[in-house]
Amino acid sequence: MTLAAPLGLLKQARARFTQREIAAHVGKDIKTVRRWEKGETPCPSMLEPALRDLLHSSGRTKAGANPGDAQFRFIDLFAGIGGIRRGFEAHGGRCVFTSEWNDFSKKSYQENYRDDDNGHQFVGDIVSYAVDAVPSHDVLLAGFPCQPFSIAGVSKKNSLGRPHGFECTTQGTLFYDVARIIAAKRPAAFLLENVKNLLSHDKGNTFRTILAVLRDELHYDVHYKVIDGQHFTPQHRERIVIVGFREKTEFTFDDLDVPAEGPRLASILHKTDGTEPVLEHDGDRFFDHASRAVQARYTLTPNLWAYLQAYAEKHRAAGNGFGFGLVTPDSVTRTLSARYHKDGSEILVSQTNGRRPRRLTPRECARLMGFPDDFVIPVSDTQAYRQFGNSVVVPVMQEVARIMTPHVTELLARGMAVRLKS
């Protein structure tokens, strides 16, 4: 790729956009764009995808334009079963692109989100996907897995046309694939979600690298906060949420409306008093409505219950805290994990009349993660447990989307106003 290519794209863009609008889209200031035009400094080759995206998306009359009233368009990366998506659809967003590599998660996702008539595209592995083929969007969502970064620090050689800093520091990681799409498409905002331990991974170097890429390389206004899902569902689940905006906004996590006390486990357990809803897509798979009881297969076998008790006792004697988590309707549970299908040990529901404890059913796991009862579970119990254990607490995402949306729409309106003046 030569420097002449991005310079030619810049000239095409200047025929239709102001320097201010181009600068805002590529994350630079107006003086830098002016120097590129005058030939005082070369227009970096890494900006070619962003300039092409600006030219291709210029005919859009309204963010999220769709038969309907979507306020903005978003893409859903490392989508799982769409928990983050649900939060943003609840506040006027429309999903235009999804990436998820796991076939079982894809099955659950496509069963619950009917995108056939909306120009929506679903792809598998984003790593091998061409960035130019990703559609233009206003918000990027990604629950990316955390991987170690092999090189610390961020290159400052961009102005010389050398490799983009995040390519040096994050190549080969899944965060790199998020960063390259942000660099090329320049969405108005993004939301990234990860485990709390991302903050301390590799003595904090991983998170410092991520922030350096987002702030110093991509020039986004970045905010982050660890949010515990137990304010919204009866589960202690701490996750870090990273939010960024293409321009400075008044966004603050202080605007979150977090209930002081969250619900208890009784709110998500199957009801044995005759009030458990009959769900056509579940039938009696999880709950026997005739006998008003959870299906017997979710009660631990004698051998498994004996093993877990012996295992817990062994670690107690050694002074360790390992063991099962026994809960009652008044409890807040431990974090539901993707390994829950193995023995259910982190969340075992106590049963009366001397019965052995039981696992949560997949429907109860869905409720524990904040998914409504109309969410269809088309996969096996094992796959369902994995999917919910890897998902997000939906009400958390919905609350973050609520406080993000006004700033997203403000940025989109600001960009539209600039275009009308030019």
**Catalytically active residues, by annotation:** 146
Classify 46 in phi/psi space as left (phi over 0), alpha (psi -120 to 50) or beta.
alpha
Identity of the residue numbered 85: R
* 3-class state of residue 317 by DSSP: helix
DSSP-assigned letters across all residues of 64-107 = T-SSS--SEEEEEES-TTSHHHHHHHTTTEEEEEEE---HHHHH
Task: Write out the H or E segment, with its range, that includes residue 416.
Answer: helix 394-421
CB atoms within 10 A of CB 299: 18
* 3-class state of residue 1 by DSSP: coil
* 3-class state of residue 5 by DSSP: helix
Task: Report which of 135, 365, 192 is spatially closest to residue 269, judged by C-alpha positions.
Answer: 365
Residue 263 in contact with residue 274, Cβ under 8 Å?
no
Residue 76 in contact with residue 98, Cβ under 8 Å?
yes
CA dihedral 165, 169, 174, 178 (to 10 degrees): -20
Residue 134 tokens, joined = 């990703």
Give the rounded distance of the alpha carbon of 248 from its chain centre. 22
Report the distance separating Cα 96 and Cα 109, nearest Å: 14
